[in-house]
């Protein structure tokens, strides 16, 4: 039979291994929860900042388009549609932000700067 010294060493080794494993398990779970919470907060902050940037860009675009719509050549009903489309096509060509700009009438006809100004196409937007 083994000595008491060997038995105590085996028992304490097993106890120490069990305690170490328990602390390791608890530490890993605590760390996993902390990292998960940190990532969630970071993603929420990132989404919030992204939405603020999108909102600012939309506000700039809206202000630009509102200013464009208030120009005399566009807002004056006496100016013919061809002149308006030619002007809008020039504005689109100056801008790097837009592919086309359009004007809609009260009959749901949309006149786009590129298609109407070049090919005379009209889009009906009554279903939209």
Tokens coding 116:
């109407």
Contact 69, 75 (CB under 8 A): yes
Tell me how far apart the alpha carbons of residues 118 and 111 are, in angstroms, rounded to a whole number.
11
The rounded distance, in Å, linking the Cα atoms of 25 and 121 is 69
Return the pLDDT at 119: 65
66-123 confidence digits (pLDDT tens): 999 899 998 888 988 888 888 888 888 888 888 888 888 888 888 887 765 566 678 8
| pLDDT, tens only, 15-69 | 999 999 999 999 999 999 999 999 999 999 999 999 999 999 999 989 988 999 8
Number of helices (H) and strands (E), helices first, in the chain?
4, 3
Cα–Cα distance, 74 to 88 (Å, whole number)? 9
pTM of the full structure: 0.59
Enumerate the domain spans of the chain: 1-70, 76-128
């Amino acid at each position: 039979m083994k000595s008491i010294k060997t038995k105590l060493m085996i028992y304490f080794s097993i106890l120490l291994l069990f305690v170490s494993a328990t602390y390791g398990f608890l530490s890993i779970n605590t760390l996993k929860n902390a990292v998960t919470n940190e990532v969630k907060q970071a993603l929420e902050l990132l989404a919030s900042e992204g939405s603020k940037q999108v909102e600012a860009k939309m506000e700039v675009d809206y202000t630009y388009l509102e200013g464009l719509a208030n120009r005399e050549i566009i807002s004056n009903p006496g100016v013919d549609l061809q002149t308006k489309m030619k002007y809008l096509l020039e504005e689109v060509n100056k801008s790097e932000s837009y592919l086309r700009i359009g004007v809609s009438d009260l009959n749901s006809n949309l006149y786009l700067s590129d298609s109407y100004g070049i090919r005379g196409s009209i889009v009906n937007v009554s279903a939209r």
